[in-house]
Copies of this chain bind each other. A is one copy, B any other.
Amino acid sequence: MNKQTVTIYDVAREAEVSMATVSRVVNGNTNVKPSTREKVMKVIEKLDYRPNAVARGLASRRTTTVGVIIPDITNLYFSSFALGIDDIAAMYDYSIIMANADQGREEKVVTDILSRQVDGLVYLGHTMTDKIRHEVERTRTPIVLAGMIDPEGKMPSVHIDYESAVAEAVSRLFDQGIEDVAFISAPEYQVDDELGRFNGYKKALASHNKDLDSALCLTAENSRYRAAEEVGQELIDSKAQAAMIIGDELAAGVSNYVQDKGLKVPEDISIVSSNNSIITEIVRPQLTTIAPPLYDIGAVAMRILTKLMGDKSVEEEVIENKNILPYKIIVRDSTK
């Protein structure tokens, strides 16, 4: 379809050198006499030649492209990762093939992206199915998980220690004398997810000699703002005086909902959120929150991937399997 008229061959002919020499010039190979290089450069300029990355990819078996699998691009949590990934990728001259992998489409998406011969993969999201694992292994494509973890522990990942983070945040609530803290999230975090969000909650309970009360574990339909209403009411109906909420939109929604119903935050109910996206600052009162370094997680994941993709034998480099970045807890006005 593209009428890429001028090829490396045209340049070679016009410059009266071989294709190989043009290729060397284009690729910055040093074994070219300066005068030859100049001559070729001039012709490239004159002919307005642009290398065809597809041909290059086929011939060299490297596409300088990485695939990014992202569950929801309009979710600030994920798009912040993506920004970090993109910045580092640009730095290393990799392009990004990005695919939104909503509900259950991840397998198709991964297969497709792999058929495009990406040099590597950054995988964001929750689920890592066997099928996906199989595809990745079959093609021997380097992969790094960001903001999640490999249950089998084989794939390198970058994330924070959510278990400690949640435990710390919830303990802080208990330490303030709050008796009952609810745990609110979308379904995927109401089980022992690998990053231990729910486990952190249980840990905090345990360390304060409290039993897990299922009436305080509230499940929202998903993590978006509008899913907060129902669960917000459940929170009001419960005996909780505080809530640890996974997902900033959900937390903002719950906070707004309970206030609309006449309760005061944090006087009547304290709220802690989990991701410190700009939403936690926009909503009033501003939310106390766990603050994972989202951009950095993406950036580190991409940096690790470049190493994995590098020519130098990876064996030499020490690549941690679990890269745990530090988090902060930012105390704002939604807690006492």
Residues of A within 8 A of B (CB): 1-4, 48, 50-55, 57-58, 61-63, 65, 73-74, 76, 79-80, 82-83, 86-87, 90, 93, 95-100, 105, 111-117, 119, 138-141, 224-225, 249, 252-253, 256, 278-279, 281-284, 309
Which of B95, B119, B141, B253 touches A99 (beta carbons < 8 Å)?
Answer: B95
Which 5 pairs between the two chains have the least Cβ-Cβ distance? Answer: A98-B98, A53-B116, A53-B115, A86-B100, A74-B79
Chain B residues with Cβ under 8 A from A1's Cβ?
61-62, 119, 140, 309
Could you tell me if A54 and B58 are in contact, using CB atoms closer than 8 angstroms? Answer: yes
What is the bound-complex CA distance between A3 and B117, given in angstroms? 10
Could you tell me if B117 and A95 are in contact, using CB atoms closer than 8 angstroms? Answer: no
A74-B80, A282-B252 given as contacts; is B117 within 8 A of A52 (CB)? Answer: yes
- 28 A-B pairs (CB sep. < 8 Å): A1-B62, A1-B140, A1-B309, A2-B117, A2-B140, A3-B140, A4-B139, A50-B111, A50-B115, A50-B139, A52-B58, A52-B117, A54-B57, A58-B58, A73-B82, A74-B76, A74-B82, A86-B99, A90-B99, A90-B105, A95-B97, A96-B97, A97-B97, A97-B98, A98-B98, A225-B278, A252-B282, A279-B282
What is the bound-complex CA distance between A28 and B96, given in angstroms? 29
Could you tell me if A284 and B256 are in contact, using CB atoms closer than 8 angstroms? Answer: yes
Could you tell me if B282 and A65 are in contact, using CB atoms closer than 8 angstroms? Answer: no
Could you tell me if A3 and B79 are in contact, using CB atoms closer than 8 angstroms? Answer: no
What is the bound-complex CA distance between A54 and B141, given in angstroms? 15
A63-B54, A96-B98, A99-B96 given as contacts; is B76 within 8 A of A83 (CB)? Answer: no
What is the bound-complex CA distance between A119 and B54, given in angstroms? 12
Closest to A105 in B: B90
**Least CB distance, A169 to chain B, in whole angstroms:** 21
Could you tell me if B65 and A73 are in contact, using CB atoms closer than 8 angstroms? Answer: no
Chain B residues with Cβ under 8 A from A95's Cβ?
97, 99, 112-113, 116
Could you tell me if A117 and B225 are in contact, using CB atoms closer than 8 angstroms? Answer: no
Closest to A55 in B: B58
Which of B3, B86, B309 touches A139 (beta carbons < 8 Å)?
Answer: B3
- Beyond A86-B99, A97-B97, A279-B279, 15 additional contacts (C-beta under 8 Å) are A4-B139, A73-B83, A73-B86, A74-B80, A74-B82, A79-B79, A86-B100, A90-B99, A95-B116, A96-B98, A96-B99, A98-B98, A225-B278, A252-B282, A253-B282
Chain B residues with Cβ under 8 A from A225's Cβ?
278, 281-282
Chain B residues with Cβ under 8 A from A65's Cβ?
97, 116
**Least CB distance, A6 to chain B, in whole angstroms:** 10
Which of B51, B83, B100, B224 touches A74 (beta carbons < 8 Å)?
Answer: B83
Could you tell me if B115 and A51 are in contact, using CB atoms closer than 8 angstroms? Answer: yes
Which of B79, B111, B141 touches A73 (beta carbons < 8 Å)?
Answer: B79
A73-B79, A97-B97, A282-B279 given as contacts; is B54 within 8 A of A117 (CB)? Answer: yes
What is the bound-complex CA distance between A97 and B54, given in angstroms? 13
Chain B residues with Cβ under 8 A from A52's Cβ?
58, 115, 117
